[in-house]
Amino acid sequence: MRKALPAEGVRYNWQRMKFSLFGIYSVVAAALVLSARAESPGYLVFVSNERSGDITVIDGATDAVVTTFKAGKRPRGIHATPDGKRLFVTLSGSPRMAPGVDENRAPADKTADGIGVIDAAAHKLIDRWHVGSDPEQFAISKDGKFAFIANEDDASASIVDLNSGQSRGKIKVSEEPEGVGVNPSNGEVYVTCEEKGEVFAIDPDQQRVIAKIDTGGRPRSVAFLPDGSRAYVACENGEYVAVIDAKSHKLLSKIQLPTGSLPMGTAISSDGKELYVSTGRGNAVAIIDTQKNDVAATIPVGNRAWGIALDPSGSKLYTANGASNDVSVVDVKSRKELRRIKVGDGPWGIAIVGAAK
Q: Would you say 89 and 344 are in contact if contact means Cβ atoms under 8 Å apart?
A: no
Mention every residue, 6+ apart, whose C-beta is less than 8 A from residue 118: 46, 55, 71, 86, 87, 88, 89, 124, 125, 126
CA-to-CA dists, residue 51 to 94, 110, 113, 344, angstroms:
12, 17, 15, 8
CA distances from 110 to 130, 134, 167, 242 (A): 9, 8, 17, 33
Question: CB of 271 within 8 A of CB of 261?
Answer: no
Q: Return the CA Rg of the chain.
A: 24
Over 70: is that where the pLDDT of 19 sits? no
Give the CATH number, domain containing residue 224: 2.130.10.10
Q: Which of 28-32, 197-201, 211-215, 339-343 has the lowest mean pLDDT?
A: 28-32
Q: What is the pLDDT of residues 245-264, one digit of tens each?
A: 999 999 999 999 999 999 99
Whether the CB-CB separation of 344 and 52 falls below 8 Å is answered with yes
Q: Which amino acid, residue 207?
A: Q
How far is it, in rounded angstroms, from Cα 85 to Cα 162?
12
5, part of any domain: no
Q: Is residue 166 part of a domain?
A: yes
The mean pLDDT value of the chain amounts to 89
What is the sign of the dihedral through the CA atoms of 148, 228, 349 and 210?
positive
Q: Could you report the per-residue pLDDT of 310-332, keeping only the tens digit for each?
A: 999 999 999 999 999 999 999 99
List, in order, residues 6 or more apart from 248 with CB less than 8 Å away: none
- The residues near 36 (Cβ < 8 Å, ≥ 6 apart) are none
Q: How far is residue 269's CA from residue 275's CA, in Å, rounded to a whole number? A: 6
- The strand order across the sheet containing 124-129 reads 78-80, 86-91, 114-119, 124-129
By CB neighbour count within 10 A (0-12 exposed, 13-18 middle, 19+ buried), where does 25 fall? Answer: exposed
Provide the CA 290 distance to its chain's centre, in angstroms: 19
Coil vs helix vs strand at 24: helix
Pair 354, 80: CB distance under 8 Å: no
Total count of domains within the chain = 1
pLDDT at 356 over 80: no
Length of the chain counted residue by residue: 357
| Tens of pLDDT, residues 82-118 | 999 999 999 998 888 655 555 555 688 888 999 999 9
- For residue 105, being part of any structural domain is answered with no
Is 259 domain-assigned? yes
pLDDT of residue 97: 67
In a domain, 73, yes or no: yes
φ, ψ for residue 145, nearest 5 deg: -90, -25
The rounded distance, in Å, linking the Cα atoms of 227 and 84 is: 22
pLDDT digits (tens, 9 = 90+) for 259-299: 999 999 999 999 999 999 999 999 999 999 999 999 999 99
In this prediction, residue 21 carries a pLDDT of 42
Q: Distance between CA 140 and CA 203 in Å, rounded?
A: 14
Higher-confidence residue of 215 and 7: namely 215
Instruction: Judge whether 238 lies within some domain.
Output: yes
Q: Which of 8-22, 44-58, 191-205, 328-342 has the lowest mean pLDDT?
A: 8-22
Residue 2, domain member (yes or no): no
pLDDT band (50, 70, 90) for residue 304: very high
Question: Does the pLDDT value for residue 198 go beyond 60?
Answer: yes
Mean pLDDT of 3-18: 47
pLDDT score of 219: 98
In a domain, 103, yes or no: no
> Which structural domain, as residue segments, surrounds residue 242?
43-95+110-354
